[in-house]
Amino acid sequence: MAEFRAADWQTYRMEWKKPHDAVEPLENEIRVVDAALAGMLNAGLITGVDYDGEKFLAHRRAVRENFDIPWTAITPRMQRLLYAINAVHRPPVLVAVGIFCGNTFISNAGAAAGPGKCYDAERLVGIEIKPEEADRARRNVQSIDTEGRAEIVAADGMQWLKDFDGGIDLLYLDADGPKGKGKSIYMDLLEAALHALKPASLVIAHNSINSASDLADYLAFVRGENFASSINMFLDDQGIEVSRMP
């Protein structure tokens, strides 16, 4: 099983209700994310590691100044890594499921919308099942995406994925299913999306560490023969599993 481990992933912690507070010096954050990208490159997940650090900081600043975020588990390290993966992979079509207030979505879509934009995407779709959270996410995203490149959909991601008749280049999973189901909903979401995943597309699953037991079937699937490669990123205590289609 491929993995990347930052030495301090267990002790690196943010306060979920203070998403903009610095957790470590910026140079540490950059060093850890650079090492994480190198690990992904070595494991064959991505084809490069270069992204524009100034554009990322412009993105971070815009989110800090404009977003209404009641809480988030997206750490500053993870925010940078998600932005960088998207800046390197440049998915024409990004679909994110379970986006809550939109912070988790814009951490991905910010590479193609708003002041951190570094490429032109065809579609950037964020899906949230709770209408009031989808409304908040839309307000948040529109506050920095002045060109209107991203779309927020209030819907059940499962049905949306089943019905989608286009191709997906990057699928980001962060949905927390109904009580009892929790993050084990990821396997169902992946099955609903398989028909749309393009060759060499990426699938990113948040909470690969703290929800690993709920995700056992999902993790076994993406680490098996169905995917070309898959890596667990121990950057913080939440983690992401990044998997690449053949």
Ligand X SMILES: C[S@@+](CC[C@H](N)C(=O)[O-])C[C@H]1O[C@@H](n2cnc3c(N)ncnc32)[C@H](O)[C@@H]1O
The binding site for ligand X (CB under 6 A) comprises 72-74, 97-98, 100, 103-104, 127-130, 133, 156-158, 174-177, 206
| Residue whose Cβ sits closest to ligand X | 98
Tell the smallest beta-carbon distance from residue 225 to ligand X (Å): 27
Tell the smallest beta-carbon distance from residue 206 to ligand X (Å): 5
Tell the smallest beta-carbon distance from residue 183 to ligand X (Å): 8
CB closer to ligand X, 44 vs 105:
105
CB closer to ligand X, 106 vs 245:
106
Tell the smallest beta-carbon distance from residue 141 to ligand X (Å): 13
- 17-22: long-range contacts at Cβ-Cβ below 8 A with a sequence spacing of 24 or more? 17/70, 17/71, 19/69, 19/71, 19/72, 19/74, 19/103, 20/64, 22/76
Gyration radius of the chain over CA positions: 16
Distance between CA 179 and CA 177 in Å, rounded? 7
CA 145 to chain centre: 18
Helix (H) or strand (E) holding 205: strand 197-206
CB closer to ligand X, 52 vs 188:
188
CB closer to ligand X, 49 vs 154:
154
Tell the smallest beta-carbon distance from residue 158 to ligand X (Å): 5
Q: How many Cα atoms are found within 13 Å in the side-chain-facing hemisphere of 146?
A: 6
Q: Is the dihedral angle over the CA atoms 100, 103, 14, 64 positive or is it negative?
A: negative
CB closer to ligand X, 130 vs 195:
130
